[in-house]
Amino acid sequence: MKPIILIILPLIFLVLFYFYPLTAIFSLSFAPHGQLDLTSLERLITTDYYLKTFWFTLWQAMLSTALTVGLALPGAYVFARYRFMGKSLLRALTTIPFVLPTIVVANAFTALLGARGIINSSLMVLFQWDEPLFQLQHTLTFILLAHVFYNYTIVLRLVSGFWANLDPRLPEAAQMLGATRQQAFRQITWPLLAPAIMAATLLVFIFCFTSFGVILILGGPRFATLEVEIYRQTVNLFNLPMAAALSLLQIGFMFALMLIYSHLQSRLTRPLNLQSQQITQRYPKNWRERLLVWGNVTFMVTMLGAPLAALLLRSFTIDGKLSLIYYQTLLISNPQSKSLFFVPPSEAITNSLIFASSTVILATFLGLLTATSLTSHSTAQPKSRNLKSLFDAIFMLPLATSAVTLGFGYIITMNRPPLNLRTSPLLVVIAHSLVALPFVIRSLLPALRTIQPNLREAATILGASPWRVWQEIDFPIVRRALLVGAVFAFTISMGEFGATLFIARPNKPTIPLTIFRFLGQPGALNYGQALAMSSLLMLVCAVGFIVIEHFRVSDTGEF
């Protein structure tokens, strides 16, 4: 099957549900009366405030990305090369932070490290201090900690999933020829890992560059990214032209970055002889390896688990005493709120699971088609490689687009034929799949590009059809990467909030929307119920990840 045929369906999906609503909102913003008005764009490049906002957005994203990648790579190595007790459970648990709404994580960090948080309160009691030791509220340090907390799992899963199948005999051969261990890593392993590391780095950078909730809540009024300013211009000031101009700047910058990235990755990736994890992984043998493994496990549990534990503890605490009152009241509609849209938590959980399962199916299907198309005949002419790099960057654009902008676009365009989906739950699945699709593609591309062309050629010569070649050659190599993509699709759908807020029906809320409803009402009881719902979200996601890991294909017969 020709690559152009494979990519037609994903392109149609992108045109209908990304470019069409985006064009509509830009048209409304820049030509509200049918006449082009670019005053907001002129103000954007001549006003110091917006230029400073862009600069802060850029450098905090670079710093956050460097910290996240630097801290996660040792953990990725441990997951790729060693077996240890509780590995599958830890892999599932490390993904939970990525799914939690930002407002909940902000409250979790405040509960842990705030002026009256668990750590400061304990230290003040222990040492009889009058002032808290850690005063991190509304500081850059708080922002960086939250970004690492959120994005650690992206690097861990993408890099370890690829690293786990790299042949360990290559650096060993280099060492036998006289290279030191450091030289073998720098000259052999690192270049082979570069495509997966670049993919993870780009995704982390995009999330930090478009950071919204973390900056708004933990950063306070001192800090604002482009995404925060888009929200302010849209919701607080209803200045759609300026919001659209900021969104256009954000999309344009990220598109240029992704073009460069796609071009570099296609050139760096080389076909490889991948090995089964039965060969590449082993139990730690000596005290140094055990220290490396359990030191990294301790770091993960502490860094990722402490805020989650603080959140869980607060959901069971009222007036300093353990209580189940927040969980018990979740099942009862608050008569004082007189809400017409009260939905039991069980229904919200069911809605989230249905949306997430549907998103996994749609996003992995479209992602597999796209990634296969982008990697077919990778040794073709330079024009073909440039075209594929362009398509690769285009499919990453949904991640660089403000959820506020896209949500308004859906409201404008999805309420009339032929796309009269405004009241349909299908629109939620489509929006979630649009955001999850780049993750699936990024998970699959490094694995697909490592497949040796002579394997496919040999199978074809022996009479295998294209479908049989894919089934017997490609799929055994990429199925683990596809599983990683499915986990990210499930995670994104369970935690997606920005776009869902605009398009979900009031009687079909997801868990994040239910949490938002509780936080939007005053009173300690509503806040406690939000924490309880957040804990339930953690539980549902952990079970979901463990179930997905259960379906991980056995190492037996791998490759």
CA separation for the pair 331, 533 (Å, rounded) = 11
Q: Which of 264, 211, 316 is nearest to 535 (CA)?
A: 316
The torsion defined by the Cα of 469, 473, 477 and 480, in degrees rounded to 10, comes to 50
The confidence score (pLDDT) of residue 383 equals: 60
Rounded distance between C-alpha atoms, residue 271 and residue 170, angstroms: 14
Question: What angle do the packed helices 382-396 and 426-449 form, to 10 degrees?
Answer: 140
Beta-carbon contacts of 245 under 8 Å, excluding residues fewer than 6 positions away, are 29, 40, 41, 43, 44
In terms of phi and psi (left: phi > 0; alpha: psi -120 to 50; beta: otherwise), the region of 496 is beta
For residue 364, pLDDT over 90 is answered with: yes
Structure tokens at 368: 């597999």
Residue type, 529: Q
Looking at residue 304, its pLDDT comes to 85
Q: What is the pLDDT of residues 365-409, one digit of tens each?
A: 999 989 888 877 544 455 666 777 788 888 888 887 877 778 778
Give me the residue spans of the domains in the chain: 3-550
Question: What band does 555 get if pLDDT is binned at 50, 70 and 90?
Answer: very low
Residue 178's φ and ψ, nearest 5 degrees, are: 110, -5
User: Residue 141's pLDDT is what?
Assistant: 85
Average pLDDT over residues 24-43: 78
The H or E element containing residue 64 is: helix 48-81
- Predicted confidence at residue 557, as pLDDT, reads 39
Higher pLDDT, 492 or 221: 492
pTM for the model: 0.78
Mean pLDDT (whole number) for 128-134: 76
Q: List residues bridging with 552 in a β-sheet.
A: none
Contact between 97 and 105 under an 8 Å Cβ cutoff? The reply is: yes
Ranking 79-83, 265-269, 372-376, 529-533 by mean pLDDT, the lowest is 265-269
**Which residues are CB-contacts of 316 (< 8 A; sequence separation ≥ 6)?**
322, 323, 324, 326
Task: Give the separation between CA 300 and CA 179, rounded to whole angstroms.
Answer: 32
Cβ atoms 499, 429 nearer than 8 A? no
Contacts of 323 (CB under 8 A, 6+ apart): 316, 317
Task: Retrieve residue 121's tokens.
Answer: 């309160």
Q: What is the pLDDT of residue 382?
A: 57
Residue length of the chain: 559
Question: Could you count the other beta carbons within 10 Å of the beta carbon of residue 222?
Answer: 10
Give the relative orientation of helices 345-375 and 382-396 as an angle to the nearest 10 degrees. Answer: 170
What local confidence, expressed as pLDDT, does residue 556 receive? 36
Which CATH number does 3-550 carry? 1.10.3720.10
Pair of tokens at residue 129: 């201090």
* pLDDT, position 103: 65
Output phi, psi for 334, to 5 deg. -75, 110
Q: How many C-beta neighbours within 10 Å does residue 221 have?
A: 7
Q: For the residues of 191-232, what is the DSSP string, one character each?
A: HHHHHHHHHHHHHHHHHHHT--HHIIIIIGGG---HHHHHHI
Q: Please report the pLDDT score of residue 335 as a whole number.
A: 44
Largest separation between any pair of C-alpha atoms in the chain: 79
Q: Which of 316, 321, 359, 327 is nearest to 494 (CA)?
A: 359
Tokens at 209, concatenated: 């560059």
- Return the pLDDT at 295: 93
- Weakest mean pLDDT among 95-109, 259-273, 428-442, 458-472: 259-273
The three-class DSSP label of residue 554 is coil
Q: From CA 20, how far away is CA 409, in angstroms rounded?
A: 8
Q: Which two tokens stand for residue 49?
A: 């405030």
- H or E stretch at 317: strand 317-318
- For the chain, helix, strand, coil in percent to 5 are 75, 0, 25
Q: How far apart are CA 195 and CA 80, in angstroms?
A: 16
- Helices (H) and strands (E) counted in the chain, each on its own, are 27, 2
Q: Model confidence over 159-217: pLDDT tens digits?
A: 887 788 777 777 778 778 787 888 888 888 888 888 888 888 988 998 888 887 778 77
In degrees, rounded to 5, the angle at the alpha carbon of residue 221 between the alpha carbons of residues 217 and 226 is 80
pLDDT of residue 69: 94
Q: Over the chain, what is the mean pLDDT?
A: 80
